[in-house]
């Protein structure tokens, strides 16, 4: 059988002349960039400096409002004390409304925590249940639009 001779194929690539032109173009663009920076035409600090909108959006638009600490004596054979500290996460412009209603929040938290069976504090996951119940009561008092979240910063039984 006869074989068909294929012509030699050269790999597709750049010719030496094209390589020299590409290198020269890269050097010219790099030199122009260096010269404009060196002469002060372009200031890299101004290019990469955050704008006023970026700086304004970086700061938090929320605050944490302290709820007065709850200290309760738990009934039972051995005397124990429950200590709970919490913070309300809210928009910065809502702080005054929340602080006005803090006595109601404290009252609601005290009533709920005093109604819990002391044996329940020994169960697993009680903190999650307490947090969700307190957030629900907070939602009833403040309304769902007045706060973002409830954070329990201290929960101690001693």
- With beta carbons less than 8 A apart as the criterion, state whether 83 and 144 touch: no
Per-residue pLDDT at 54: 60
pTM, two decimal places: 0.61
Residue boundaries of the structural domains of the chain: 16-54, 60-157
Quick one: which H or E segment has residue 61?
A: none
Which of the two residues, 21 and 76, has the higher pLDDT score?
A: 21
**What confidence tier does 152 reach under pLDDT thresholds 50, 70, 90?**
very high
C-alpha dihedral, 12 to 14 to 15 to 16, nearest 10°: -140
pLDDT at 136 over 90: yes
Average pLDDT in the chain: 85
The topology (CATH level 3) of 60-157 is Tetrahydropterin Synthase; Chain A (3.30.479)
Summarised one tens digit per residue, pLDDT across range 79-96 is 889 999 999 999 888 889
């Amino acid at each position: 059988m006869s074989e068909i001779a294929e012509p030699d194929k050269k790999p597709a690539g750049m010719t030496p002349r094209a390589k020299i032109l590409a290198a020269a173009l890269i050097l010219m663009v790099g030199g122009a960039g260096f010269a404009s920076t060196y002469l002060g035409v372009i200031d890299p600090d101004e290019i990469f400096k955050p704008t006023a909108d970026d700086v304004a959006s970086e700061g938090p638009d929320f605050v944490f409002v302290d709820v007065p600490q709850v200290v309760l004596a738990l009934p039972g054979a051995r005397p124990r004390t429950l200590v709970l500290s919490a913070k309300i996460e809210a928009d910065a412009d809502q702080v005054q409304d929340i602080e006005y209603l803090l006595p109601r929040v404290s009252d609601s938290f005290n009533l709920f925590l005093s109604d819990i069976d002391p044996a329940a504090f020994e169960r697993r996951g009680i903190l999650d249940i307490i947090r969700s119940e307190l957030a629900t009561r907070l939602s009833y008092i403040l309304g769902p639009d007045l706060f973002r979240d409830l954070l329990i910063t201290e929960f101690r039984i001693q």
